[in-house]
Amino acid sequence: MNDEFMNLAFECAEKAFELNEVPIGAVIVKNNMIISYAYNQKESNHSSLYHAELIAIHEASKKMNNWRLDDCDLYVTLDPCPMCASAIKQSRIHNVYSALSNSDLTNDSIIRKIFESDSTNPGVLFKTNLCMERSKKLLNTFFKKQRNK
Amino acid sequence: MNDEFMNLAFECAEKAFELNEVPIGAVIVKNNMIISYAYNQKESNHSSLYHAELIAIHEASKKMNNWRLDDCDLYVTLDPCPMCASAIKQSRIHNVYSALSNSDLTNDSIIRKIFESDSTNPGVLFKTNLCMERSKKLLNTFFKKQRNK
């Protein structure tokens, strides 16, 4: 894991926080170059598809003019949901570095199954809980603020 | 299942076929009104995100100005992948009518797990193999054409 890229993912998450979106950020890198970065925009775009990871994949595909994001890695501040995990796998992203495991065990087992290799597609290497405290603190502060509204 | 909507999903899939995309189509309806319809555009848009179901969800959310597609149903010509299944679930789509089961059993068990209800989100009612022959024929003709290129 590269601290600089995880730090940028957190800066994206903090931007989401300011805009009253669940604070999650994602960064895609290739050969130590930043390809794209994004924050969760589900509420402002009125669409379940505007998760940080999906926006980052969309931008990266546009930039590379290719749906195959070969040799790309993704940094994210919370484990992806199954939608994003499957998009990551289908985009051929190689490594996923996540700051915090999603405590929902069903989700956890689904995303591990999605990331496994199959006959047509190499697996995704997935590491999680790499910056637990920072991610937990950001999410807890956000949900506390929402409850007090 | 309503034949008219499944038929429109197939017309979308045939449009994809003409454009050399894997022929899959999707339609979203609410109270018997068509909200959106789309065909797979992965290759032409160079992005893994341009599956028929995701485009249809994107258009429906824009139209309804809401990520909650309450009381909406989705018609699709092939079982969704995990990315689309999770997007369907998160968009609160209620019924999914699929023409053909995906023969990949791992995928099948993942999407059934995704569709199950959880504490925060009602489950998706999923019916498949509703127009098997038409979907199989379209897909087989497409892949045969691709192999002979």
Instruction: Note whether A25 and A37 are within 8 A (CB).
Output: yes
**Which residues of A are identified as catalytic?**
53
- Between chain A and chain B, how many beta carbons pairs sit less than 8 Å apart? 88
Check if A123 contacts B (Cβ < 8 Å).
no
**Which residues of B are identified as catalytic?**
53
Check if A127 contacts B (Cβ < 8 Å).
no
Using alpha carbons only, what angle is made at residue A59 by residues A56 and A64, rounded to the nearest 5 degrees? Answer: 120
Cβ distance of B82 and A110 shorter than 8 Å: yes
Q: Distance (Å) from the C-alpha of residue B46 to the closest C-alpha of chain A? A: 5
Check if B123 contacts A (Cβ < 8 Å).
no
Q: Mind listing the pLDDT tens digit of every residue in chain B (149 residues)?
A: 899 999 999 999 999 999 999 999 999 999 999 999 999 999 999 999 999 999 999 999 999 999 999 999 999 999 999 999 999 999 999 999 999 998 666 667 889 899 987 777 778 999 999 999 999 999 999 999 988 88
pLDDT tens column, A66-108: 999 999 999 999 999 999 999 999 999 999 999 999 866 666 7
Cβ distance of B46 and A54 shorter than 8 Å: no
CA distances (Å), A1 to each of A77, A78, A130, B26, B60, in order? 13, 15, 8, 39, 38
Residues linked to residue A34 through DSSP beta bridges, in sequence order: A29
Can you tell me the distance from the alpha carbon of A78 to that of A90, in angstroms, rounded to the nearest whole number? 19
Among B81, B91, B114, the residue with its CB nearest the CB of A110 is B114
Cβ distance of A48 and B90 shorter than 8 Å: yes
**What does residue B45 show for φ and ψ, rounded to 5 degrees?**
-100, 0
Cβ distance of B48 and A113 shorter than 8 Å: no
Cβ distance of B87 and A58 shorter than 8 Å: no
**Which secondary-structure segment (H or E) carries B110?**
helix B105-115
Chain A residue with the nearest C-alpha to that of B59: A47
